[in-house]
Protein backbone atom coordinates (compact mmCIF):
# COMPACT_ATOMS: atom_id res chain seq x y z
CA UNK A 1 0.00 0.00 0.00
CA UNK A 2 1.13 3.53 -0.70
CA UNK A 3 1.92 5.54 2.44
CA UNK A 4 1.18 8.86 0.72
CA UNK A 5 -2.29 10.23 1.26
CA UNK A 6 -3.90 13.08 -0.62
CA UNK A 7 -4.01 15.16 2.58
CA UNK A 8 -0.24 14.75 2.91
CA UNK A 9 0.42 15.93 -0.64
CA UNK A 10 -1.73 19.07 -0.46
CA UNK A 11 -3.44 17.96 -3.68
CA UNK A 12 -6.26 15.56 -4.41
CA UNK A 13 -3.72 13.14 -5.86
CA UNK A 14 -1.23 10.78 -4.31
CA UNK A 15 -0.05 8.91 -7.44
CA UNK A 16 -0.15 10.21 -11.00
CA UNK A 17 1.11 9.44 -14.48
CA UNK A 18 2.73 12.24 -16.49
CA UNK A 19 2.73 11.58 -20.24
CA UNK A 20 4.75 13.84 -22.49
CA UNK A 21 5.62 13.47 -26.13
CA UNK A 22 9.20 13.13 -27.27
CA UNK A 23 8.76 16.42 -29.10
CA UNK A 24 8.35 18.20 -25.77
CA UNK A 25 12.06 17.56 -25.16
CA UNK A 26 13.40 18.99 -28.41
CA UNK A 27 12.87 22.70 -27.66
CA UNK A 28 12.92 24.77 -30.85
CA UNK A 29 15.46 22.51 -32.54
CA UNK A 30 12.98 20.47 -34.60
CA UNK A 31 14.75 17.21 -33.73
CA UNK A 32 16.38 15.33 -30.86
CA UNK A 33 17.04 16.42 -27.32
CA UNK A 34 17.51 19.98 -26.08
CA UNK A 35 19.14 19.64 -22.63
CA UNK A 36 17.88 23.01 -21.24
CA UNK A 37 14.32 21.98 -22.18
CA UNK A 38 14.76 18.57 -20.54
CA UNK A 39 16.03 20.33 -17.42
CA UNK A 40 13.08 22.77 -17.42
CA UNK A 41 10.59 19.88 -17.51
CA UNK A 42 12.57 18.03 -14.83
CA UNK A 43 12.15 21.11 -12.58
CA UNK A 44 8.39 21.00 -13.16
CA UNK A 45 8.37 17.33 -12.15
CA UNK A 46 10.47 18.09 -9.06
CA UNK A 47 7.97 20.68 -7.80
CA UNK A 48 5.28 17.99 -7.80
CA UNK A 49 7.63 15.40 -6.32
CA UNK A 50 8.40 17.87 -3.51
CA UNK A 51 4.71 17.79 -2.58
CA UNK A 52 5.06 14.07 -1.88
CA UNK A 53 3.07 12.96 -4.93
CA UNK A 54 4.21 9.62 -6.36
CA UNK A 55 5.09 10.13 -10.02
CA UNK A 56 5.12 7.79 -13.00
CA UNK A 57 6.30 9.12 -16.34
CA UNK A 58 6.07 7.97 -19.94
CA UNK A 59 7.95 9.95 -22.57
CA UNK A 60 7.35 9.37 -26.29
CA UNK A 61 10.02 9.04 -28.92
CA UNK A 62 8.73 11.23 -31.72
CA UNK A 63 11.62 13.70 -31.40
CA UNK A 64 13.93 10.91 -32.59
CA UNK A 65 11.98 8.27 -34.48
CA UNK A 66 8.39 7.23 -35.14
CA UNK A 67 7.59 3.82 -36.54
CA UNK A 68 4.89 5.14 -38.86
CA UNK A 69 7.32 7.60 -40.46
CA UNK A 70 9.85 4.83 -40.99
CA UNK A 71 7.30 2.53 -42.57
CA UNK A 72 6.02 5.35 -44.80
CA UNK A 73 9.57 5.53 -46.16
CA UNK A 74 9.60 1.84 -46.99
CA UNK A 75 10.97 0.35 -43.77
CA UNK A 76 9.31 -2.76 -42.39
CA UNK A 77 6.77 -1.56 -39.79
CA UNK A 78 7.71 -3.78 -36.85
CA UNK A 79 11.41 -2.95 -37.16
CA UNK A 80 10.54 0.73 -37.40
CA UNK A 81 8.38 0.43 -34.28
CA UNK A 82 11.20 -1.21 -32.34
CA UNK A 83 13.41 1.72 -33.34
CA UNK A 84 10.71 4.06 -32.03
CA UNK A 85 10.63 2.16 -28.74
CA UNK A 86 14.41 2.43 -28.44
CA UNK A 87 14.09 6.20 -29.00
CA UNK A 88 11.87 6.39 -25.91
CA UNK A 89 14.65 4.74 -23.87
CA UNK A 90 17.06 7.53 -24.87
CA UNK A 91 14.52 10.16 -23.81
CA UNK A 92 13.89 8.35 -20.53
CA UNK A 93 17.63 8.28 -19.76
CA UNK A 94 17.90 12.01 -20.52
CA UNK A 95 15.02 12.75 -18.14
CA UNK A 96 16.54 10.46 -15.50
CA UNK A 97 19.85 12.33 -15.67
CA UNK A 98 18.09 15.72 -15.43
CA UNK A 99 15.96 14.65 -12.45
CA UNK A 100 18.87 13.09 -10.59
CA UNK A 101 20.92 16.27 -11.14
CA UNK A 102 18.13 17.99 -9.17
CA UNK A 103 18.36 15.39 -6.40
CA UNK A 104 15.24 13.40 -7.35
CA UNK A 105 15.73 9.65 -7.22
CA UNK A 106 14.44 7.82 -10.27
CA UNK A 107 14.27 4.48 -12.01
CA UNK A 108 14.05 3.92 -15.74
CA UNK A 109 11.97 0.79 -16.27
CA UNK A 110 11.94 -0.70 -19.74
CA UNK A 111 9.31 -2.93 -21.33
CA UNK A 112 12.19 -4.41 -23.37
CA UNK A 113 14.85 -5.80 -21.03
CA UNK A 114 18.26 -4.16 -21.36
CA UNK A 115 19.86 -4.85 -18.02
CA UNK A 116 23.03 -2.83 -18.50
CA UNK A 117 21.01 0.31 -19.18
CA UNK A 118 17.90 0.20 -17.00
CA UNK A 119 15.57 -2.08 -15.05
CA UNK A 120 13.20 -4.54 -16.68
CA UNK A 121 9.50 -3.96 -15.98
CA UNK A 122 8.34 -5.94 -12.95
CA UNK A 123 5.08 -4.50 -11.67
CA UNK A 124 5.51 -5.17 -7.97
CA UNK A 125 9.03 -3.79 -8.02
CA UNK A 126 7.85 -0.62 -9.77
CA UNK A 127 5.13 -0.14 -7.15
CA UNK A 128 7.76 -0.42 -4.42
CA UNK A 129 9.87 2.27 -6.12
CA UNK A 130 6.88 4.59 -6.14
CA UNK A 131 6.23 3.95 -2.46
CA UNK A 132 9.86 4.92 -1.84
CA UNK A 133 9.21 8.18 -3.72
CA UNK A 134 11.34 7.28 -6.72
CA UNK A 135 10.05 8.73 -9.97
CA UNK A 136 9.41 5.75 -12.29
CA UNK A 137 10.09 6.53 -15.95
CA UNK A 138 8.54 3.77 -18.05
CA UNK A 139 10.46 3.30 -21.29
CA UNK A 140 10.14 1.26 -24.51
CA UNK A 141 6.39 1.78 -24.68
CA UNK A 142 4.37 -1.37 -24.19
CA UNK A 143 7.20 -3.44 -25.69
CA UNK A 144 4.96 -4.26 -28.67
CA UNK A 145 4.92 -2.83 -32.17
CA UNK A 146 1.72 -1.22 -33.49
CA UNK A 147 1.16 0.64 -30.22
CA UNK A 148 1.98 4.16 -29.10
CA UNK A 149 3.35 5.62 -25.92
CA UNK A 150 -0.12 7.05 -25.18
CA UNK A 151 -1.33 3.47 -24.83
CA UNK A 152 1.79 2.60 -22.82
CA UNK A 153 1.08 5.50 -20.44
CA UNK A 154 -2.53 4.37 -19.99
CA UNK A 155 -1.51 0.76 -19.46
CA UNK A 156 1.17 1.56 -16.87
CA UNK A 157 -1.08 4.12 -15.16
CA UNK A 158 -3.72 1.40 -14.78
CA UNK A 159 -1.21 -1.17 -13.52
CA UNK A 160 0.32 1.30 -11.04
CA UNK A 161 -3.16 2.40 -9.85
CA UNK A 162 -2.53 6.04 -10.74
CA UNK A 163 -5.47 8.31 -10.05
CA UNK A 164 -5.10 10.22 -13.30
CA UNK A 165 -3.00 10.67 -16.40
CA UNK A 166 -1.61 14.18 -16.86
CA UNK A 167 -0.94 14.76 -20.51
CA UNK A 168 1.45 17.71 -20.88
CA UNK A 169 1.15 19.39 -24.28
CA UNK A 170 1.85 22.73 -25.94
CA UNK A 171 -1.72 23.94 -25.40
CA UNK A 172 -3.80 24.27 -22.25
CA UNK A 173 -6.40 21.64 -23.03
CA UNK A 174 -8.54 20.01 -25.68
CA UNK A 175 -10.04 22.26 -28.37
CA UNK A 176 -12.73 21.63 -30.96
CA UNK A 177 -10.30 22.89 -33.64
CA UNK A 178 -6.56 23.50 -33.75
CA UNK A 179 -6.12 26.70 -31.67
CA UNK A 180 -2.89 27.47 -33.53
CA UNK A 181 -4.83 27.68 -36.80
CA UNK A 182 -8.35 28.78 -35.81
CA UNK A 183 -8.58 31.84 -33.56
CA UNK A 184 -12.19 30.90 -32.67
CA UNK A 185 -11.26 27.40 -31.46
CA UNK A 186 -13.14 26.55 -28.24
CA UNK A 187 -11.51 24.80 -25.31
CA UNK A 188 -13.49 22.15 -23.46
CA UNK A 189 -13.37 22.23 -19.65
CA UNK A 190 -14.65 18.69 -19.51
CA UNK A 191 -15.27 16.12 -22.21
CA UNK A 192 -16.30 12.48 -22.20
CA UNK A 193 -14.17 9.61 -23.54
CA UNK A 194 -16.89 8.85 -26.08
CA UNK A 195 -16.94 12.45 -27.34
CA UNK A 196 -13.18 12.33 -27.81
CA UNK A 197 -13.59 9.16 -29.87
CA UNK A 198 -16.66 10.22 -31.85
CA UNK A 199 -15.46 13.76 -32.59
CA UNK A 200 -11.89 12.53 -33.14
CA UNK A 201 -10.53 15.17 -30.75
CA UNK A 202 -6.76 15.23 -30.54
CA UNK A 203 -6.07 13.97 -27.04
CA UNK A 204 -4.53 10.52 -27.34
CA UNK A 205 -4.98 7.78 -29.91
CA UNK A 206 -8.20 5.76 -29.86
CA UNK A 207 -6.74 2.64 -28.20
CA UNK A 208 -5.41 4.75 -25.32
CA UNK A 209 -8.74 6.56 -24.87
CA UNK A 210 -10.67 3.27 -24.90
CA UNK A 211 -8.31 1.75 -22.33
CA UNK A 212 -8.60 4.83 -20.09
CA UNK A 213 -12.40 4.71 -20.40
CA UNK A 214 -12.56 1.00 -19.56
CA UNK A 215 -10.39 1.55 -16.47
CA UNK A 216 -12.13 4.76 -15.40
CA UNK A 217 -8.87 6.72 -15.57
CA UNK A 218 -9.31 10.48 -16.03
CA UNK A 219 -6.97 12.24 -18.50
CA UNK A 220 -6.05 15.82 -17.71
CA UNK A 221 -4.67 17.77 -20.67
CA UNK A 222 -2.63 20.84 -19.74
CA UNK A 223 0.17 23.05 -21.04
CA UNK A 224 3.68 22.07 -20.10
CA UNK A 225 4.95 25.45 -21.31
CA UNK A 226 3.38 27.26 -18.35
CA UNK A 227 6.01 27.62 -15.57
CA UNK A 228 4.71 25.95 -12.41
CA UNK A 229 1.81 24.63 -14.45
CA UNK A 230 2.10 20.96 -13.53
CA UNK A 231 2.03 21.67 -9.81
CA UNK A 232 -0.78 24.21 -10.27
CA UNK A 233 -2.94 21.74 -12.18
CA UNK A 234 -2.45 19.14 -9.44
CA UNK A 235 -3.79 21.71 -6.98
CA UNK A 236 -6.78 22.29 -9.25
CA UNK A 237 -5.54 25.71 -10.49
CA UNK A 238 -5.00 26.97 -14.03
CA UNK A 239 -6.73 25.93 -17.23
CA UNK A 240 -6.98 22.38 -18.45
CA UNK A 241 -9.40 19.90 -19.94
CA UNK A 242 -10.44 16.78 -18.09
CA UNK A 243 -11.50 13.74 -20.06
CA UNK A 244 -13.59 11.48 -17.88
CB of 67 to ligand UDP, least distance (A): 2
78: left (phi over 0), alpha (psi -120 to 50) or beta: alpha
- Positions touching ligand UDP (CB under 6 A) are 21-23, 60-62, 66-68, 81, 84-85, 87-88, 141-142, 144-145, 147-150, 152
Cβ proximity to ligand UDP, 43 vs 202, nearer residue: 202
CB of 160 to ligand UDP, least distance (A): 16
CB of 66 to ligand UDP, least distance (A): 4
Cβ proximity to ligand UDP, 4 vs 171, nearer residue: 171
Is the Cα dihedral 227, 232, 238, 242 positive or negative?
A: positive
CB of 135 to ligand UDP, least distance (A): 18
Cβ proximity to ligand UDP, 84 vs 229, nearer residue: 84
**DSSP H/E element including 106:** strand 106-110
**DSSP H/E element including 54:** strand 54-59
3-state secondary structure 131-163: HCCCEEEEECCCCCCCCCHHHHHHHHHHHCCCC
CB of 20 to ligand UDP, least distance (A): 7
| CA separation for the pair 170, 228 (Å, rounded) | 14
| CA separation for the pair 215, 186 (Å, rounded) | 28
Cβ proximity to ligand UDP, 9 vs 88, nearer residue: 88
Cβ proximity to ligand UDP, 4 vs 219, nearer residue: 219
- The CA-based angle 208-137-39, given to 5 degrees, is 110
CB of 162 to ligand UDP, least distance (A): 17
Residue nearest to ligand UDP (CB): 60
Cβ proximity to ligand UDP, 57 vs 217, nearer residue: 57
Nearest Cα residue to 94 out of 133, 45, 143, 145: 45
Amino acid sequence: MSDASSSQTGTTYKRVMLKISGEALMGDQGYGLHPPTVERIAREVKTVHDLGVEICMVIGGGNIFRGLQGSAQGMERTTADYMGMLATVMNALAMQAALEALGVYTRVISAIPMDQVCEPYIRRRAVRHLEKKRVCIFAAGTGNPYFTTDTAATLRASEMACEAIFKGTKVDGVYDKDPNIDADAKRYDRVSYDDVLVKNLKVMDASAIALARDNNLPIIVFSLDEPGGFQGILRGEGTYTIVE
